Structures are given as C-alpha cells and as structure tokens.
A and B are shown apart, each in its own frame.
Chain A
Amino acid sequence: MTTAVTVPASSVRVPQEARDALNQREAVTVVAHKRSQYVLLHPDDYAVVSPILERHRAGRPIPVDRLMTEDDFAIIREESLDTPDAGILEAWGN
C-alpha cells in the first residue's frame, strides 16, 4: 500500500479517543464547523478501499452496490415497504 503524501507522526496530533477507535479498525471523521474535513482509516482498511478510491479519482464507474453498506441495503428495502402517510401536506409542506 502506498499513498502519494506521507507525514511523520510527530507532525500530527491524534486524540487518544481517535487512536483507540483506529486500533479497533473504526473510521474516524474529523469535523470542522459541522462539516467533515477528513476521515482517518487504519492502514489495513485503507488498503481494502484504495482500489475503489483510485477508480473514483480516475472518474471510472464503480458498481453501485460496492458503495453501499448493509445499513444502506436495509434502508432501501424498508423504503419499498413505505406506506402512505395520512395528511401528506401537513407532514411535509409549509
């Protein structure tokens, strides 16, 4: 696995909470002003997703199901069971 840019660990301050999460192989999202700025990954996890990132960076299509998690599949299944709301205008409109 290679990345285009590397920086020494001494240049980066990662809070202990984030280190613990990364050691548990969880992604860490860095937010600023309520918007995500970076996502930190364990190197082994980056190795798994880097082929997809390379294709994305080159503008090549990625099979859409490879971008989806089990939660996404479940959500979409649940959407198909969506039942009509009573009072749609009251529920959604202004």
Chain B
Amino acid sequence: MSAPLADLRRGAICIALYPFTPELPLDVVLREADSDGGLNAKIESYDSIESVARITRNELVIQFKLRPVLLLQTGTSDQLPDVLVARVNSITEDHRQRRAAWVAKLENNIHPLMLRVGHEHHHGLKVESYVNLTSVQPVNKAAILRNVGYLDEGEMVSISERLILSLEIDVSAYVAQLRPELSSSGETSEQVQLS
C-alpha cells in the first residue's frame, strides 16, 4: 500500500520509487502477441536519439531504486498525481576518506547545492545522508511507499536557498522589492545624495 496522502507534506522524507534518468544506449521494449494469445516482449537497443526518433515504440527499460527522497511540494491533494522530490543519498565511508573537503562542507552547512540530513532523529534516516538539490524530479504519489521523517521549517529554508541556486531562479526583482532603498549601483539613496 502506498503512503497515505496526508503524510505527503512538504519537507517529508519518504521512501519512494525513484527512476534513473534514461541514458544512451536506450533499451526499447517491443511487445508482440504470440499465436496462443500470450504476450512476448523483447528488448532492442538504440545507440542514438536519432534512431529512437524513427520508431513508434514508446516503452523504455529504465533502472529504478527505492530510495529516500525529500518532498519539495505539498502532495496531500488527490487532484495532482505527482509530487516534486529531491534525491537523498547516504554519506559513505568512501566519501569520508576520498572526499573529506566535500564532507566538511556538508557538516559545516556551507554547501551551496546539497544539505546534510540524517544526523537528527526527526529525519528518520539510519545513516548520515545528504539531499542533492541538483537531482530533482517528479515522482508518482502511488510510488511512495511511506514517510520516515521530515525536515523542520529552518531546514526547509536551507533547502529553498539551495533550490534557488540549483534551478538558477532569478529572484532579483523579488530582492529589489524587499530592498527598495538600494539603487541599481548598489548605493543607498543617502549615499547617492552625499556623493
């Protein structure tokens, strides 16, 4: 049974079916009915997107994994089938040995695109992990197995800051509205008068 919709709040950490992005060569599924009315399926491999564009098939073989994800949107409505999530990965011993500077950035909370999780009980993860805000995609809500934890409001502020960077969202007009006293040159109106 899938996770109840009421559990799919923004900031929830859930176990979900997370498909990997298809890469070339693409394995395309060919389904054919046999003489007994049964169904046979075989796979053909295509090594260029041009060759895929010439065929009418539309079923691909993709890899997937049940993994923790962070819900970036509220998924409690039954009117929307999908919800946008970010991928959660574990910080491994190999990371600690070979990527010590990267681990230190996570632990010091200064990585611009990733956030450490799993070190607080409410995250619901058994291993220290990170949310990768460069790996964001929708998942079908029926493919969410269950909620295991959540990020609190302060942690979700950190997520929002990193999403602005990873999605390259231009918030300059919004920032200008919040700081109307700044001119485009960055000087305050008072400084302009004094100069």
Contact = CB atoms under 8 A, between A and B. Distances in A.
Do A and B share a complex? yes
Interface of A: 29, 31, 35-36, 39, 54, 56-64, 67-69, 71-72, 74-76, 79-80, 82, 84-85, 88-89, 91-94
Contacts of B87: 79
A32 B187 CA distance: 32
| A59, A88, A91 pick with most chain B CB within 10 angstroms | A59
- Chain B facing A: main interface SS: mixed
A71 B99 contact: yes
Contacts of B169: 61
A84 B19 CA distance: 11
Interface in B129-154: 132, 134-135, 146, 148-149
B50 interface: no
A62 B65 contact: no
A80 B20 contact: yes
B102 interface: yes
Contact of A75 (B95, B104, B109): B95
A64 B65 contact: no
A76 to B, nearest CB: 7
B42 interface: no
Given A62-B168, A64-B134, A84-B65, A71 B101 contact: yes
A71 B87 CA distance: 18
Contacts of A36: 108-110
B89 A67 contact: no
Interface in B6-23: 15, 20-21, 23
Interface of B: 15, 20-21, 23, 65-68, 87, 89, 95, 99, 101-102, 104, 108-110, 112-114, 124-127, 132, 134-135, 146, 148-149, 165-166, 168-176, 186
Contacts of B68: 92
5 contacts: A58-B172, A72-B102, A76-B134, A80-B21, A92-B148
B168 A75 contact: no
Nearest to B18: A82
Contacts of B173: 59
State the 3 A-B residue pairs at the shortest beta-carbon distance, nearest first: A59-B175, A61-B168, A59-B171
A88 B168 contact: no
B102 A71 contact: yes
Contacts of B176: 59
B15 A93 contact: yes
Nearest to A69: B102
Contacts of B171: 59
Contact of A62 (B99, B126, B165): B165
A80 B186 CA distance: 42
Contact of B113 (A29, A67, A74, A94): A67
